[in-house]
Amino acid sequence: MTQPKKAPRPTGKNPAKSPVPRVRRTPEEARTLALTSARRLLLAEGPDAITLQAVAGDLGMSHTNLIHHFGSASGLQSELMRQMVSELTTTIESAVMRLRAGKAELKDFVDIVFDAFDRGGAGRLAAWMALTGESMHLAPIGEVVRDYIDSVERATDDEGGAAAIHERVTSATLFVTVAALGDAIIGNELRKMVGRERETVRKLMGTLLPAVLAPQPKGGGHS
Amino acid sequence: MTQPKKAPRPTGKNPAKSPVPRVRRTPEEARTLALTSARRLLLAEGPDAITLQAVAGDLGMSHTNLIHHFGSASGLQSELMRQMVSELTTTIESAVMRLRAGKAELKDFVDIVFDAFDRGGAGRLAAWMALTGESMHLAPIGEVVRDYIDSVERATDDEGGAAAIHERVTSATLFVTVAALGDAIIGNELRKMVGRERETVRKLMGTLLPAVLAPQPKGGGHS
DNA sequence: GTTCTTATTGAGAGTGTTGTCAATAGTGAC
DNA sequence: GTCACTATTGACAACACTCTCAATAAGAAC
């Protein structure tokens, strides 16, 4: 970091001005740094904190450099959304693979989905996208959810017919995903209010999900 | 352009110009109008759309008038939060009353909670507060949730001891609230992706909640 | 060394939002 | 009628954010 001062070339005007040493990064490194900082700001202060000035100030670079790398402020935000959704989907996809291969149980899958929405603020980001109308970035989640449904359908025994199975699996999928998102957003606050530990909701979901997927022995109101 | 001397403030100096008729409202009416507009903007375009200029433009008044009534922009936002949280809690409170009086079943209660988070964008608002760190406004929700827990505990049969009952009830409460919030935020999007109808998640919750509250015949996860 | 590419920067314009301030205009009280 | 109160307004200042532009500098290629 501490480099000896080279011959300052302050355009021949102010010879005493220090030339503000520059760090020159590779484009990938600069983008990675910016996205990391933006994510940290998102988690710490909310979506509105992700501005070019805030990210640039956090990294000690000029905000114009961020425009150079991402094209615009919305370019940076879109890239952050894309990256976080990508991480979310790949995490869930790997869990789907294990479930499909019979190497994981439903309870583990619930844990993975909850963790995926919690880790790195993915749930908060998804909520932000849904709130601001940027739901097109959520499309990959829809794909992996459909993939998940497909895998669970194969892993489920065939009683009751394909239609009934599909209904149960889609219901269970919506249930898990919605609960995981809600838990990531407001779970901590609510748990503090009632004095419960962190894994409460996901544990309950893990015990209930098999009952949802199992063929209902008793018609519990189909309407 | 160049007025050489003091020009009397141009008011009414043009006899043909219509003097832009003012509507004078009562303070309550002005505040109600502003809050209604702000809520509409929140639902339509997201939290960032709630600006003084946007609300004022929507109502056809000047933004300074909003400052006059709410003190500041954050005053308007805080008042909106307070109002919506108040509606949410009163709705749930009335449901708690009916549940406490034995005039409603758990399934109805689930419907009411889900509707409360959905109606008027209360769920979106709660997510906004959680995201922006304004979670102090969520405190009334905590109170009504504790009230709810108390009422359900009374309505539950006493098998298993008070501690076990309390654990089951708080778990169920967290479960319902978290799922209702997640459903309000992202439920519509996810349902569109997998092609399910609107009541899917809440219906599932209604069928599962009695099992959560019932004494578990088998000791589940201990940790 | 020289040259080229480009990451990086500062200055500045343009826009949007919040807020201040004095002036205006309804409305009721007198 | 006059007066007081205040809801309402326009003009303006201050600030934050985005983005353009020309200039600079770090490193690679030669």
List, for residues A73-97, the tens digit of each pLDDT value: 999 999 999 999 999 999 988 888 8
Residue pair B52/B67 in contact by the 8 Å Cβ criterion: yes
| Nearest residue to C8 via alpha carbon and C1' | A65
Query: Both tokens of residue B10?
Result: 């141009």
Cα distances from B45 to residues A47, A72, B41, B121, B124, in angstroms, run 15, 21, 6, 12, 11
CA of A57 to C1' of D12 (A): 30
Contacts 24+ apart (CB under 8 A), A64-72: A65/A30, A66/A34, A69/A27, A69/A30, A69/A31, A69/A34, A70/A31, A70/A34
pLDDT (average), residues A173-202 = 92
The residue-averaged pLDDT of A185-204 equals 91
The answer, for B33 touching chain A at a CB cutoff of 8 Å, is: no
Q: How far is A176 from chain B (nearest CA, A)?
A: 9
* A206 touches B at CB < 8 Å: yes
| A101 or B20: which leads in pLDDT | A101
What's the gap in Å between the CA of B62 and the closest CA on chain A? 25
Q: Chain A: nearest CA to B115, how far in angstroms?
A: 15
Protein residue ranges contacting nucleic strand D, Cβ under 7 Å: A 6, 8-11, 19, 21-22, 24, 51-54, 63-64, 67, 72-74; B 20, 22-27, 30, 60-62, 64-65, 68-69
CA of B40 to C1' of C20 (A): 29
Which residues get their CB within 7 angstroms of nucleic chain C?
A 20, 22-27, 30, 60-62, 64-65, 68-69; B 9, 11-12, 19, 21-22, 24, 51-54, 63-64, 67, 72-74
How large is the average pLDDT for residues A178-189? Answer: 94
Cβ of A200 within 8 Å of Cβ of B132? The answer is no
Give pLDDT, residue A28: 97
Most confident of A59-68, A104-113, B161-170: A59-68
Are B154 and B100 contacting, i.e. CB atoms less than 8 angstroms apart? yes
Which residues of chain A are within 8 Å of residue B138 when distances are taken between CB atoms?
Answer: 186, 189
Give the helix/strand (H/E) hosting A175.
helix A162-182
**What confidence score (pLDDT) does residue A11 get?**
41
Rounded Cα distance, B141 and A62, in Å: 43
CB-neighbour burial class of residue A107 (10 A; exposed 0-12, middle 13-18, buried 19+): middle
End-to-end CA distance of chain A: 68
Closest nucleotide to residue A31 (Cα to C1')?
A: C7
pLDDT at site A217:
57
Interface test with B, best of A118, A186, A205 (most B CBs within 10 A): A186
Categorize the per-residue pLDDT at B131 as very low, low, confident or very high, splitting at 50, 70 and 90. confident
Contact A145, B187 (CB under 8 A): no
- Look at A4-8, A31-35, B141-145 and tell me which has the smallest mean pLDDT: A4-8
Q: How far apart are CA A5 and CA B2, in angstroms?
A: 54
Q: What angle do CA A62, A65, A68 make, to 5 degrees?
A: 160
Burial of A192 (0-12, 13-18, 19+ CB in 10 A): exposed
pLDDT band at A163 (very low <50, low <70, confident <90, very high): confident
**Residue A213 CB coordination number (10 Å):** 19
Q: Which amino acid is at B220?
A: G
* CA gap A111, A172 in Å, rounded: 14
Give pLDDT, residue B42: 93
A200·B170 Cβ contact <8 A: yes
Residue B103: CA atoms inside 13 Å, Cβ hemisphere, count?
Answer: 6
Distances (CA, A) of B28 to A29, B23, B25: 55, 14, 8
Most distant pair of Cα atoms in chain A: their distance: 88
B19 min Cα distance to partner chain A (Å) = 39
CA dihedral for B160, B163, B168, B172, sign (positive or negative): positive
What is the rounded end-to-end Cα distance, in angstroms, of chain B?
79
Rounded Cα–Cα distance for residues A63 and A65 (Å): 5
Residues B49, B42: contact at Cβ < 8 Å?
yes
What's the Rg (C-alpha) of chain B? Answer: 24
pLDDT at B100 over 80: no
Torsion (CA) A69, A74, A76, A79 in degrees, nearest 10: -120
Contact A12, A25 (CB under 8 A): no
CA separation for the pair A169, A151 (Å, rounded): 10
Among the listed residues A26, A50, A46, A22, the one whose alpha carbon sits nearest the alpha carbon of residue A36: A50
A-chain residues near B45 (CB < 8 A): 133
The closest alpha carbon to A175, from B124, B116, B203, belongs to B203
Residue B137 Cα, gap to closest chain A Cα (Å): 11
* Nearest alpha-carbon partner for A183 in A122, A138, A135: A122
Per DSSP (E only), the strands in A103-172 are none
Helices (H) and strands (E) in chain A, counts: 10, 0
Provide the whole-model pTM. 0.84
Chain B: residue whose CA lies nearest to A207: B220
Residues 76-115 of B with CB under 8 A from A: none
What mean pLDDT is predicted for residues A116-133? 88
- Nucleotides on chain C within 7 angstroms of protein Cβ: 6-11, 16-27
- Report the alpha-carbon distance of residue B100 to residue B149 in Å, rounded: 11
The pLDDT score that the predictor gives to residue B146 is 84
So what's the pLDDT on residue A157?
Answer: 63
B131/A185 touch (CB, cutoff 8 Å), yes or no: yes
Contact A42, A125 (CB under 8 A): yes
Spatial separation of the C-alpha atoms in residues A55 and A36, rounded to whole Å: 9
Whether A42 contacts A50, CB under 8 Å: yes
- CB within 8 Å: B171 and A196: yes
Express each pLDDT in A6-29 by its tens digit: 333 344 344 444 567 899 999 999
Mean pLDDT, chain A, integer: 84
Q: For the segment B41-56, what is each residue's pLDDT rounded down to a tens digit?
A: 999 999 999 999 999 9
Residue scoring higher pLDDT (B1 or A109): A109
Looking at residues B108-128, what average pLDDT do you find? 90
A7 touches chain B (CB under 8 A): no
- The least confident of A176-185, B34-43, B120-129, B195-204 is B120-129
